[in-house]
Every structure is written in structure tokens, then in C-alpha cells.
Structure 1
């Protein structure tokens, strides 16, 4: 009988028990890895109707002295003032169709973000706009084309931010006060 107990003791030795546990764990892990992943639930498709609107977008003449409007068609999902203003600045950043006009920002430049509070627009210019080095007339054209585009049909004034921050100036021009139609009327 003691021989049978010795054989059982050898079968259930610490090494054999640990090895059997590792074998069972590896079999379970292999099964878990071979199971196909659960398919994610697809997002709900929400079709939103886009409305096409005509907006007047301002660019500059070839001598960077005069503001010149160009009527463009924009597609918006909501026809509220903020959505229309953002769509207008998106096409403004893309530049004019008319070859006699100049874009105010380089091609592929991100458009500014537009916010609206009551009749007051807040335009957050990307931080890269602070490095354009346009000089006073170029900076004025940049600010005035945006101001005139936004205030064409709506709003009282435009306050400019740069990179999400209130700044005192954009190069040579003071940004502490909002811009109005009158500030850009002589262009």
C-alpha cells in the first residue's frame, strides 16, 4: 500500500500540480485568443439636410488696397447666424474664385473659428496667423475682410482672438477693441 501512496504522491507533486495548472491556463488563454472579436455597434446614421445659401465673402484686390466682394454658395446644416458665419469663413480661407482677387491667407491655412454672442462675433484666429508677417496693410486686409464678411448682413462688431487668447495686437494692429463696419468702410 505504501507503494501506491508513493506513486500518487509523485503524480501530485508540486511540480506536476503547477505544470497542470499552467497547461489548463494556456488552453483557456488559447481559446480566448482564437475567439472572433465582438463586432462594434455601428453608429446611428443621421441624415441632415444641407441648405445652400449665398453669402458675400470679401477678398482683396491685387494691390492689397481695396476690399472686393465675391458671392459664394455655402452649404449649412443649420441656417443659424453662427453656422452661416463659420461656413463663410471656411470659403474665405479657401480663397477667391476670381483670379483678379487675392486670398488673404496662404492656401491650406486653417479657417478661423467663429462664435456668436447676441449681435457680437468672436473670431478665434489660428495661432499661425500671428506669424504671417504681412505688415500693416496686409494685417488690416486680413482683419477687414473677415469683419466685412461677417458683418455684411448681420452683427454689430467682431472681436478677434489669436490661438484662443485675448491679445493686444496682431502684428501692428490693435485687437483690444472690436472691429465694426466703420473701421473697414474706407477700404
Structure 2
């Protein structure tokens, strides 16, 4: 009868088990990508008038046009959410809208000077080129970065960390210029 429990068979099984152990513990599917989104900002208790700086595209999509808009915040309304709601409505004067009419506004969560912009699935289907995506992502980010104390903006797509909308990488946050 042949011997199955030889030195080299034992070494092979140990190497196999170590390889499987390393594989399963380094697998990206085992890492949690959950982002905890509760807000830690104070909401106004009384109506409050605020001035927003909204970043829209120039008609030729070569740069941004800043539109100042004064809005009245209702009690319990977030200035960050209202800023993106106004941005999605489009410009009141010159400038081009960043998203087509009827596109839902993203949801904004703020935690420790970081704004998390949760884009609805419709944003992944816009079919913008590189310029359009750049104007969209940075238009939202600059609008939020103008509101204190936001220092960086991160993007989510339907509640998951966004990698891209097609062309532009969203892995790194957009930060305030120093």
C-alpha cells in the first residue's frame, strides 16, 4: 500500500491552506463599503434667508458662471440640500443647466466637514462626455464647498461609493483650494 502522508504531501497541504487563507482575507468582497450617513449639522429652527453661490456651465461649456441666489430656508431645512435643489432647477439668468430638466436632485449628507452627495441612478445614465461630467461634478462640489464648514465633497451613486459616471474618476474627494 502506498504512503499518502509523506513530508511533501503535508507541505503541499499547508501551502494550499495558507494560500486559501490569504485569498479569502484579502478578497475585496469581504471588505465593507458601507458609508455611515447620519448628519451632524444643526438645522434652522426658524425661517432663515441665505445667499447661495451656484455654479452653472457657460453656454459654450468652457467654464463656470456663478449665480448668486437668495433663498428662504424653512425650519428644519438643510442649506446643503437646498443648494443642490436650486442647482438642479437650473440658472435663472444666463448659463446652462448642469442636468436635464426633470432630473431628480441628489441627496446631501454632511458629516465632519465632508459632504456626501448621493446621486440617483439617473445620473449614471446621462451619457455626458468628459466635459459634461466635469462641469456636473465640480459644479455641485464648488456650490457645496462655498458653504461653511464643508472642506471636501465625496460622491455616492445610489448609496454606494461612486467610482465614476463614465469618464471622470470619483474615487478621490473634491477638496477646497487652499
Same fold (TM over 0.5): yes
Count of aligned positions: 133
Match of 1:168 among 163, 166, 169: 163
Are residue 60 (structure 1) and residue 54 (structure 2) matched? no
Residue 141 of structure 2 corresponds to 147
> What residue ranges of structure 2 are gaps of 5+ in the alignment?
1-44
Match of 2:101 among 86, 92, 107: 107
TM-score using structure 1 length = 0.67
Tell which has more relative contact order, 1 or 2 (C-alpha 8 A, sep 6+): 2
Counterpart CA distance in 1 for 2:66 and 2:90 is 12
Q: Does the 8 A contact of 2:119 with 2:158 survive in 1?
A: yes
Q: Does the 8 A contact of 1:147 with 1:181 survive in 2?
A: no
Larger % of helix: which? 1
* Greater C-alpha Rg: 1
Runs of 4+ with >6 A deviation: none
Residue 96 of structure 1 corresponds to 91
Deviation of the 1:88 alpha carbon: 0.6
Counterpart CA distance in 2 for 1:50 and 1:153 is 18
Q: What SS is found at the alignment partner of 2:124? A: helix
Deviation of the 1:78 alpha carbon: 4.4
Deviation of the 1:166 alpha carbon: 1.2
Root-mean-square deviation (CA, aligned residues, Å) is: 1.8
